[in-house]
A = this chain, B = another copy of it.
Amino acid sequence: MPDVDGRRRDLAAMIAPLQRALVAAEQPVLRAHGLSMWGYVVLDALEGQPVRTQAALAEFVGADKSRIIGVLDELENDGLLERPRDPADRRARLVTITGEGRRRHRAVQAEVQRGEERLLGLLPPADREALLRSLAVLADELPKLD
């Protein structure tokens, strides 16, 4: 139901502090596993859809294509991904997560989500599931707007 006076808080006003807290909680986990925030985001994207061109990958994770290169360099250096030339179009590089990358990503994700449970545990189970479901819908539908 809407608030009694018909007004509610902005979505952004509620999401912003939540986002800050989640990022702050992730930081030590990432550091412990030797990953940067962007590195983790990239691995996360690569586990989903298969391969992509680097520009598309950058746009997908919401980063600038000129700034994602350093991230890929590091991940490649650590053996977490490979990016051979695409034989079909040798300008492009086929960014692929490695087995080690997948392992690292899952380890971090498991630990991150264990942390998030502290928050989600505050909600009644039905609301918790509705929240996760709704966020997934919104995140998926966003690109289709405009």
Contact = CB atoms under 8 A, between A and B. Distances in A.
B141 A122 contact: yes
B127 A134 contact: yes
A130 B132 contact: no
B134 A123 contact: yes
A90 interface: no
A132 B12 CA distance: 11
Nearest to A106: B7
Contact of A118 (B20, B22, B127, B145): B145
Interface in A108-146: 109, 112-113, 116, 118-120, 122-123, 126-139, 141-142, 145
A11 interface: yes
Interface of A: 1, 7-23, 26, 41, 44, 62, 109, 112-113, 116, 118-120, 122-123, 126-139, 141-142, 145
